Amino acid sequence: MCLVPPTDLSPAEQRVWRAFGRGELLDLSDADDRGVRGEIISALLLGAQQAEPGKVAALRLTGAHITGSLEVPYADVTPMIFLRECELDNAVSLEGTTRRVIFHTCRLPGLHAPGVQVDGQLSLYGSKIDGRLTLLGANVNGELNLSHTHLTGRDGVAVSADRLVVTGNLLARRLDAGGRVRMPGAQISGTLDFSGAQVRNPDGETVTAERIAVGDHLNLSGLIAEGRVRLRGASIDGQLLLAGATLKNPGGQALHASAVTIGDSLYMWHGFTAEGEIVLRRTRVNGGMFIAPSGPVDVDASTATADLLHLNVGDPAPSAVNLRQAKIRRLDGDPGQWPSRVHLDGLIYETLDPHVPAARRLEWLRRDEAGYLPQPYEQLAAMYRRLGHDTDARHVLLAKQRLRRGTLKPTAKSWGYIQDWMVGYGYQPARAVAWLLALLVIGTAVFSLSPPQPLRAAEAPHFNPFVYTLDLLLPIVNFGQQPAWNPAGADQWLAYLFIAAGWLLATSVAAGVTRALTRS
């Protein structure tokens, strides 16, 4: 049944009518009459013309100028729609179910397709849309191709695709959008590819993809975004790629990717530049996080979890990196290549690579603006101990005590200086041994020249100044000299000094021996 009598058709429309029944490609590019009413095309798609015997009906047009309204209401449309280099005066409205829809390098004021079911490919490759693309709740059982598409947007929104479902890939390579690309809650079974795309919305968000689920990679390599990119709560089975991307949102968040789950790795390097804050809080990466940003950017990866974190700064260097409460199995990167401000309290890691002396790692810890925090020093010392580098571990713990000293009251601070000077807070047992030997020599000499008086002359053993001094210096050990002799005057005060020093020094030596035995 014909909804529009053939006698009402223009010559160009008559050609379209015949070509539709045959499924032929009709090129009107050079025709004197290129105009085709949208109502005629709608009628054809809704069954006004049947396929010729042995043919498959399809709308395949090149170079047409489509006037009026091209609207396909809720219906099951079986013919393929293929328009190439066509110009449409009004926005296209697609609803219901279609098979394959391709607008190749066309120009149209918009595409309104909420809830559309496409059983095949939906492509707008190279087209220019002077308005908004609406795919709210759409379901594409195949590939969605927005590559090289230019959208001017409307009311700050270029693409509205909340809860979009695509069973194949969503390709938006070199997409140019003058407004926000919205797709929260979308489900993409294949790859979501925004490589080389440009999205501009300086006063708000550029790409909004909260709670998005991607079955393969999310590729944002080379993306230029003027405004915030929001991926909060996303689930990505493959990699999240931002190599060479430029994200600009000065004074705000350039990338909000908190609570994101990444099945493989995160690549934020090879020319990655940002102005603003990169938020990776609570993000879980089952592979590696490769972060080498350039620009005035703060990276917040607090509470993040990853198998590997490789961090290097670009030029210009980022402002700060926050790794508070993060859990990283292996932390890579020369500490000299980290930014000048770091936040490391609660950071847990198993190994650091490359292995460098403790002095260089301590310089890294001192960049923490919070000042004295014990956990980063304990964590670093524990790592050195696991690797068998006990000297480096003691160096770290000594630095921790020296930094802690600055937080104490004057009396405790003075005692700290004494401990540091004499035994290095117990982390330099060789110095304690040297002090013991020196005091032993001094005591032997002094008490040889001025022996103490016996407490009980009849019971006192023969006085030995060497053993007597040793008895004073070594706690617990008793050679029978110290309790039998009673020094007086200055010698008595010297004896008290030796006893106190002995406790301090012997404890330090014992701690060093215990660490050595434990390590062995």
Chain segment 25-82, per-residue pLDDT in tens: 999 999 889 999 999 999 999 988 888 888 999 999 999 999 999 999 888 999 999 9
Residue after which a domain boundary falls, among 50, 66, 90: 90
In a domain, 132, yes or no: no
Residue after which a domain boundary falls, among 30, 55, 90: 90
Three-state DSSP class for residue 284: strand
In a domain, 392, yes or no: no
Please give the backbone phi and psi of residue 339, each rounded to the nearest 5 degrees, phi first.
Answer: -70, 170
Output the six-digit token pair for 185: 């809650």
Q: What is the model's pLDDT at position 513?
A: 52
In a domain, 330, yes or no: no
Q: How far apart are CA 344 and CA 311, in angstroms?
A: 14
Q: How far apart are CA 161 and CA 183, in angstroms?
A: 5
In a domain, 258, yes or no: no
The one-letter code for the residue type at 382 is: A
In a domain, 457, yes or no: yes
Residue after which a domain boundary falls, among 64, 90, 116: 90
Q: State the residue range of the domain holding 466.
A: 426-519
Cα distances (Å, whole numbers) of residue 249 to 125, 144, 203, 273, 283: 28, 29, 9, 11, 21
In a domain, 345, yes or no: no
Output the six-digit token pair for 237: 């089975």
Output the six-digit token pair for 118: 């496409």
In a domain, 351, yes or no: no
Rounded to the nearest angstrom, the gap between the alpha carbon of residue 301 and the centroid of all alpha carbons in its chain is 6
Count of residues in the chain? 520
Q: What is the model's pLDDT at position 4?
A: 46
Q: How far apart are CA 288 and CA 318, in angstroms?
A: 20
Low-confidence stretches of the chain (pLDDT < 50) are 1-5, 516-517, 519-520
What are the DSSP E strand ranges found in 224-319? Answer: 224-230, 235-236, 240-241, 246-256, 261-262, 266-268, 273-279, 284-291, 297-300, 305-311
Cα distances (Å, whole numbers) of residue 426 to 24, 495, 503: 90, 23, 12
Q: What is the model's pLDDT at position 105?
A: 98
Q: Provide the number of structural domains found in the chain.
A: 2
- In contact, 374 and 397? CB cutoff 8 Å: no
In a domain, 156, yes or no: no
